[in-house]
Amino acid sequence: MQGFITYALIFGFILPCLSTRLNVGTKNAIYNVMQYGARGDGKTDDSQAFVSAWSSACKAAEMSTLVIPVGKTFMVSKLSFSGPCTNKNILIQLEGKIVAPSKVGWKAQSYWITVQSVEGLTIEGNGRGVLDGDGSTWWQCKSCARPGVFLFHSCKGLNVSNLSITNSPRSHVAVNMCNGATFSNISINSPGTSPNTDGFDIALSTHIVIHDSNIKSGDDCIAVNGGSTFVNAIRITCGPGHGISVGSLGKNGTEDKVSDIHVRNCTFNETQNGARIKTIPGANVSVSSVKFRGFTGTSASGLAIQLNCSSSGCYDILLEQNNIVSAQPEKAASSFCTNAHGTARNTVPNIPCLSN
């Protein structure tokens, strides 16, 4: 009798709890774009198949996975993955290659792929997923309204990892009005001569993390813009590019506020600058609690650190354990700052203009 009671306890109480912890029996609906009519030949416009597959995944009551399969090349003209969705556990398994249309195939729009108003989304490339913006057809036309590759707008609890994004006509990844987003192992690759091809543009967002990523671009590797707080960039390899920047801030008279920006353990390969704060002179801008730690590498311009603050000043700035030298051996690296207040410790080049 005692043995029976023991088995009853195991099967009646313990195993159900264990099953819950392991998500035993949890459904995962799979939506493969090929089943929605995508050709994957790199020539046919597969946009509608992607949108239809997303619609099904977004409406699903259970956990869902949208599959963009490996070994296929998909040409899409414009994508919008919009929420809110029924469930908050959607995975986009992006293991194929997505290519943009030729320049003549673009319609008026600011971004090629938009993800908006979605909570709990994961995009996983598994080291195989590629997005190619075919930017070379755009870079010579500086007067053209060039599109960016990825826009994440009003998203929450976002995770993006193990993707390659290349040859954007303009910025590669824009993060706007998001709360909680992590980007890891992202490879961004555009020539150093490509204009305005920021790696990441962050604005009006909070609790954003970018880590263990390699960014080559023709502009800022990461730009933290107005309205952003609690942004962390960790173990970024940057270059070519302009470095990692706070700003530009205060454009067109905008009142901008940025705080709690932490950048550490980054490597710069012949970037224009390493650490940079950019504000418009005379603008009403608030910059505080910006930390640059553990930087190494080289500056192509020789101006390794630039802290250009408005008359409002930047406060609680910390530079610690940094060593950025000039890419030209015969030239010493230098620093420049205006209205910057904070502390520099064990940093090369020296920053005598930073006041306590």
Between vectors from CA 235 to CA 270 and to CA 112, what angle results, nearest 5°?
A: 80
The verdict on whether 341 is a catalytic residue reads no
CB 134 within 8 A of CB 102: yes
d(CA 331, CA 19): 64
For residue 354, which of 346, 344, 345 has the smallest C-alpha distance?
A: 344
Q: Which residue type, as a one-letter code, is found at position 340? A: A
CB 269 within 8 A of CB 231: no
* Lookup: tokens for 100: 């943009």
d(CA 207, CA 149): 22
CB 304 within 8 A of CB 335: yes
Active-site residue, from 172, 242, 262, 341: 242
Cα maximum dimension of the chain: 88
Q: Which residues contact 232 (CB under 8 A, 6 or more apart)?
A: 208, 209, 210, 211, 262, 263
Backbone angles phi, psi at 239, to 5 degrees: 135, 135
* Bridge partners (DSSP) listed for residue 188: 165, 215
Which residues are annotated as catalytic?
Answer: 242
